[in-house]
Amino acid sequence: MMTDYPMLHFTENNAKLWPFPMIDAVTRVSIVVDAAGRRFTDEGCGGILPANAMAQLLKPAGEVAKA
């Protein structure tokens, strides 16, 4: 499997996250699920593994991180 070095970003405009909208710290303490509510990755490994797993899904933009 090919991997990149992606980062998960918060997609809404939030001044508290400026200038670094990465949500890796949130991902480590959350459960990342697909659009059907199924967990598909190990969130404890940081943001890079979930971001790569998310990129492999059919609908990456439909995935969310729940705290």
- Measured CA to CA, the distance from residue 65 to residue 67 in angstroms comes to 7
Quick one: pLDDT band at residue 34, thresholds 50, 70, 90?
Answer: confident
Is residue 67 over pLDDT 60?
Answer: no
Average pLDDT, the chain: 75
Instruction: Tell me whether residue 32 is exposed, middle or buried, using C-beta atoms within 10 angstroms of its C-beta: 0 to 12, 13 to 18, 19 or more.
Output: buried
The residue with greater pLDDT, 21 or 2, is 21
pTM: 0.61
Over the stretch 8-25, which tens digit does the pLDDT of each residue have?
Answer: 777 777 777 777 777 777
Is residue 42 over pLDDT 80?
Answer: yes
